[in-house]
Structures are given as C-alpha cells and as structure tokens.
Amino acid sequence: MARRAKNSKLDSSTARDKLERRGKPHYHNVKSGIHLGYRRDKSDVGKWVMRYMLDGAYVVETLDQLPDDVEDANGKTILDFDQACDFVRTTATNRQNPNASKRVGPYTVSDALDDYLEERTEKGKSVSDSKNRIEVLIKPVLGKIVAEKLTADQIKKWHRDLAKQPTRRRTRKGEEQKFGTVPNDEEAIRRRRATSNRTLTVLKAALNHAFKDSKLSSDVAWRRVEPFEAVEVARIRYLTTKESKALIDACEGDFKNLVIAALQTGARYSELARLVVSDFNPDTGTLSIAKSKSGKSRHIVLPDEGVTFFKSLTDGKHARDILLSKAGEGTWKDSHQMRPIAEACERAKITPAISFHILRHTWASLAVMNGVPLLVVAKNLGHADTRMVEKHYGHMSKDHFADAIRTGAPTFGVNA
C-alpha cells in the first residue's frame, strides 16, 4: 500500500469547505510533474482535478469521480483525498510514460534501479558510474527480488559479500571478466569496503526514489543497513609544480594542449573535450562549462597565464569550432586520454603513472596550498559548497592557517 499523503487544506471535506471558491484549483503535489487539484466554483460543487506535465507543458483534466464532500467515498465514483492521489498518480504516470504501464509482473529491485537511472538521465545528471555499479554489482544479486519483499538482512549480506570480492580488472568486451586478488591486507580491505559503501549508496538512492514515488510502502529495510565505518579516507594524489612542468614537457601535440588546459582550470576531461571557442571569454578571463557532472553550468575563472594560453587556442577559429581538438578525429572521446597520459608519465618519470583526473586534483591541491579560499576552489571546480573540497583538500590549507592568522588577526598594542 502506498504511503499516505498529507495536505491539511485538501485531505478532508471539512478542510476543503473552507477553501476560497474560485475557478483555479488548489493543488497538491503528488509527485514530480503530477498534481491533484480541487476546486469549488460558484455552483458550490467540488471537483477533483488532475494536472500533469507532458511534452514540456501542463495538461489539466477534471476527473469524473467526485470528492467525498457530501457522500462517503466508495473508491469508484466518489474518491477521498488518498484515493484521488492514487488515481492521479497512476493515471498521469501512464499518460506520461505509456510504456511504463506495459511492465509485466510485480515491481522488482531491478525496476526501481531502472526508474532511478531514467530520472537522473532526464535531469541531465551523470549516470555512468551508477549505471556500471547497478549492472555489475547490484542487479545480478538483488535485481529479481520483488522490491516490497526486499529485507534488511538481504541487503546486509549483499553489502558484506561485496566487500569481500576481489577487485575487477579491465577486461575486453566479450571476454570473461578478470579479477585481481581477494583483499587480505588492511588497505585493500578498506578500499573494498569503501567501494561496497558507494554501491550501497546507489542502491539506497534508487529505493528512496521508488519510495518517494509511492511505488514502495516503506523504507525501513534499507534504512536499517549501515555502511562500513571509517573507510572513506580521502587520499588525494596530486603532482607538484615541478612534476606538472615535467609532464607538460613530456606531452606532444594536441594532447599537450589538453593537459595544460586541465592544469589551468581543474576541469574534468569530459568538460574540456566538449569546449568550443565561444566558451572562452577573453574579456572576463573565464571559461564557460555548459554542462558539468552535476548537470549544472558554471564559469571557471582563469589566471593570467591561462587567459593567454586559451587566447592562443582560439586564433583563427570560429565560434563553434572545437577548442581542444584531437588531430584527425575532431574531438577527444572516452578513453582517448589513457594511453597518452601513461606514455607522458613514463617519459617524465612520474611513478606510478597518474590518470588524467589527477590533473584536476593537482589544480585544486596547489590552489589551496597557495592560499586560495576553499569556497573559491569549490566554485571553480563546480561544487555547490565546500564539503567535498574540505574533505579532499582541507588538510592542505592547515599549514597556512597560522600565517593567515598572524597576518590578518587584530592586534591591540599590548606589551607583555
């Protein structure tokens, strides 16, 4: 049974009788893009109204079923508030997603995971990591279980077992999955537990989404499952300024420009690959990131050196040209950066070799150590607040606290 909605203005005939008589309905939010409305015009006859988003615009329909203003609800021709919410939720959802009503059988964990990914995709949010965890680590074990029957014990066992599995190694498509060794030392166990926790977070997010949409009647099962404690140790690797210069010198051609751009901005590889000439504003010295991992846009403020560098990239190009192009292929695609960064690390004698993402950590780490406030670093990186920056880079600024206090704290001319 779906959890009951609350609305003190609409959930009883007594409350509805006090509402202003008007043509415009009084609405209750049933779920995202779907509303139940109630109106009573001058004729003094109450009506339930359904409003839902379809193809970018709201559709409003008056229900044939009447509210229980005069007669008791019968669940068919007369609906109370809860029954009307259920009817509108089901009817509007089917109108919005006609294929959803074709689902056969009970609502499974796999269905909840699919719905979660679909909503994140519609909102323009990154789903690649979540999708991989879902397909590889969650569905094979829990996917076929009816979501309403999923128990805390089942989730706990899956969570513990996942932490004991060996690491998965990169495997060619079509080949049998390759595995590393089973974690047997303290650091390996910590890493596997951290991975298990992050995957648990994805599962909980999907189940919470289903619960919020009233597809599940309770969230007790997964709320009882606690993640492993003290395993999320932020160990961020970064290059020193000397190592960064050595890496730049070891790079060649278009990849060298890509590396310099990463070190000047702290932007993600995918963000850099999507840049066009018009994203760079030489007047303000900023770079526009139209779509980030969170789905939101932002502007990266560039240092003087960065402004000069990006100006050199735009010479002779048109506004819609790719800013950081790849010779012979146009744009940098997924995994194109992996081999050249490994080869550059070998030439620069950077051991062990870094991934391209470490350049983002390098920008943030060096910026913090140079005294850039955490909030400023967070905004340039595209974080809504400083929590992630404090977690990963906050300790790097501690050495500068004393200098900052001694420089900026008030003095009163007191002589000891």
Q: What is the pLDDT of residues 235-259, one digit of tens each?
A: 678 999 999 999 999 999 999 999 9
Average pLDDT over the chain, rounded to an integer: 86
**3 state DSSP class of 219:** coil
Q: Is 3 domain-assigned? A: no
Q: Is 43 domain-assigned? A: yes
Lowest mean pLDDT among 42-46, 122-126, 268-272, 316-320: 122-126
pTM of the full predicted structure?
A: 0.55
Q: Is 50 domain-assigned? A: yes
> 4: pLDDT confidence band, cut at 50, 70 and 90?
low
Asked if residue 169 and residue 55 are part of one domain, the reply reads no
Q: What angle do CA 305, 310, 316 make, to 5 degrees?
A: 140
Nearest CA to 355 out of 343, 341, 365 is that of 341
Which DSSP state fits 96?
Answer: H
Asked if residue 183 and residue 41 are part of one domain, the reply reads no
Rounded Cα distance between 353 and 350, Å, is 6
pLDDT at 106: 87
**Phi and psi (nearest 5°) for 166?**
-70, 160
For residues 165 and 182, the model is more confident at 165
Domain count, the chain: 3
| Full domain range(s) for residue 245 | 241-405
pLDDT at 373: 86
Rounded Cα distance between 222 and 147, Å, is 11
H-type helices in 108-171, by residue range? 109-122, 128-133, 139-142, 152-164
For residues 79 and 101, the model is more confident at 79
> 395: pLDDT confidence band, cut at 50, 70 and 90?
low
| Token pair 């990186």 in the structure block, residue | 381
Asked if residue 173 and residue 49 are part of one domain, the reply reads no
Asked if residue 176 and residue 310 are part of one domain, the reply reads no
Query: What is the spatial order of strands in the sheet that 46-54 belongs to?
Result: 26-31, 34-40, 46-54, 57-62
